[in-house]
């Protein structure tokens, strides 16, 4: 693959960012700071919708706001920014009659993230991760499509984003099968050797030793470790569940582990994005509490930190300040 910006060999040997190097030297391991919420943050700012199209709406109507938000995360200290491709999948786009624009919108989202990084005035070695999301709603293992349906869609997303991203991030995976579909899509690409990827599972909000499918974190981590992701993460669930997941994962894999929680109350089991049931924000998860949870993730073995829905740039900035303080 000539278009993916780093080969595996280069990425393994790549220069650590100044911050990663500093933490690695002081603590004996590397900590990588990811960004925070994209879709929820755009919706909060009035640039997206909570109906079917969700954050893809901003790709069409407000692309500059996406670039600006990526750059806010970079300014806050993020070393990985994630493409706004959470809803550039057929199931969401079809609700607005745009089901044939998957490749075009995924390409555009990846180019916007790359532009944000290329035009950022304080380069810090950050990288762009291409988001590979669930294909039919979030948190719904019961709606995960069969492999023969899912893998071609993931291939479309991968091929569309590859020219502009540095790695891929399969996120909010609610079952082992769902994550394996992404892994298979990556492996089926003739350019697989050039792909670096991370997988992130969403967990039961009340029992972080389990995925939302009920499968155990231990089982999931073992199953995906053989697919050679550079990290196995947990996202879009409560901080307590992230902590439990990181603790379980750290015991059974040599991959780097980590997590990025949301700021939601536990999600109703049958929830969909265009549902009448609103997911409630957890107003109690202040910046300080988010930082102290992140410290607990580190103590449990995490080396990737960040935020998911409801965690904006000010939270990531607070986390960056805390990490600098811990490393000095
Ligand atoms: Zn989320």
As a whole number, mean pLDDT of residues 253-271 equals: 86
Which pair of structure tokens corresponds to residue 26? 């002081």
Residue 89 has pLDDT above 50, yes or no: yes
Q: Report yes or no: 53 and 84 within 8 Å, Cβ to Cβ.
A: no
d(CA 118, ligand 1 centre) in Å: 26
As a whole number, mean pLDDT of residues 48-68 equals: 87
Q: Please count the other Cβ atoms lying within 10 Å of the Cβ belonging to residue 46.
A: 10
Q: What is the CATH number of domain 8-268+277-327?
A: 3.20.20.330
Of the candidates 41, 39, 63, the one whose C-alpha atom is nearest the C-alpha of residue 52 is 39
As a whole number, mean pLDDT of residues 103-126 equals: 95
pLDDT of residue 264: 85
d(CA 1, ligand 1 centre) in Å: 30
As a whole number, mean pLDDT of residues 293-314 equals: 96
pTM greater than 0.75? yes
d(CA 67, CA 75): 12
Residue 134 has pLDDT above 90, yes or no: yes
d(CA 190, ligand 1 centre) in Å: 31
| Full DSSP string of 71-85 | HHHHHHT-SEEE-S-
d(CA 98, CA 250): 41
Instruction: State whether residue 53 is helix, strand or coil.
Output: coil
As a whole number, mean pLDDT of residues 207-225 equals: 97
d(CA 262, ligand 1 centre) in Å: 5
d(CA 305, ligand 1 centre) in Å: 14
Task: Give the count of alpha carbons within 13 A of 277, CB side only.
Answer: 9
State the pLDDT confidence band at 4, using cuts at 50, 70 and 90.
Answer: very low
d(CA 164, ligand 1 centre) in Å: 23
As a whole number, mean pLDDT of residues 164-179 equals: 97
Which pair of structure tokens corresponds to residue 143? 């709606």
State the pLDDT confidence band at 11, using cuts at 50, 70 and 90.
Answer: very low
Which pair of structure tokens corresponds to residue 326? 């811990």
State the pLDDT confidence band at 257, using cuts at 50, 70 and 90.
Answer: very high
Q: Report yes or no: 195 and 163 within 8 Å, Cβ to Cβ.
A: no
Buried/exposed 97-123: b ≥16 CB within 10 Å, e otherwise: ebeebbeebbbbbbbbbbbbbeebeee
Q: Please count the other Cβ atoms lying within 10 Å of the Cβ belonging to residue 148.
A: 8
d(CA 206, ligand 1 centre) in Å: 16
d(CA 25, ligand 1 centre) in Å: 32
As a whole number, mean pLDDT of residues 263-291 equals: 78
């Amino acid at each position: 693959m000539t278009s993916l910006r780093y080969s595996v060999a280069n990425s393994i040997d790549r220069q650590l960012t100044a911050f990663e190097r500093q933490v690695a030297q002081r603590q004996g391991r590397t900590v990588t700071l990811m960004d925070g919420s994209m879709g929820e943050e755009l919706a909060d700012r009035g640039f997206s919708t909570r109906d079917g199209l969700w954050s893809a709406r901003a790709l069409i109507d407000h692309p500059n706001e996406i670039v600006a938000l990526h750059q806010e995360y970079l300014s806050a200290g993020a070393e990985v920014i994630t493409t706004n491709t959470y809803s550039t999948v057929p199931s969401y786009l079809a609700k607005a009659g745009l089901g044939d624009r998957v490749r075009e919108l995924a390409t555009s989202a990846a180019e916007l993230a790359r532009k944000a990084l290329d035009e950022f005035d304080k380069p810090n070695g950050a990288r762009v991760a291409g988001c590979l999301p669930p294909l039919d709603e979030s948190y719904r293992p019961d709606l995960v499509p069969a492999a023969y349906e899912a893998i071609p869609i993931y291939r479309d997303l991968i091929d569309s984003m590859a020219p502009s991203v540095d790695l891929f991030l399969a996120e909010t995976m609610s079952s082992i099968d769902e994550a394996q579909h992404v892994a298979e899509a990556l492996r089926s690409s003739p350019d697989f050797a050039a792909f670096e990827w991370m997988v992130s599972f969403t967990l039961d909000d009340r029992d972080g030793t389990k995925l939302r499918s009920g499968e155990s974190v231990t089982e999931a981590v073992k199953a995906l470790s053989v697919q050679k992701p550079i990290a196995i993460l947990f996202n879009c669930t409560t901080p307590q569940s992230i902590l439990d997941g990181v603790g379980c994962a750290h015991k059974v894999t040599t991959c780097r582990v980590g997590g990025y929680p949301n700021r939601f109350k536990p999600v109703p089991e049958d929830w969909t994005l265009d549902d009448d049931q609103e997911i409630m924000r957890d107003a109690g998860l202040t910046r300080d509490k988010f930082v102290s949870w992140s410290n607990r993730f580190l103590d449990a073995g995490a080396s990737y930190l960040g935020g998911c829905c409801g965690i904006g740039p000010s939270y990531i900035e607070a986390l960056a300040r805390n990490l600098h303080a811990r490393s000095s």
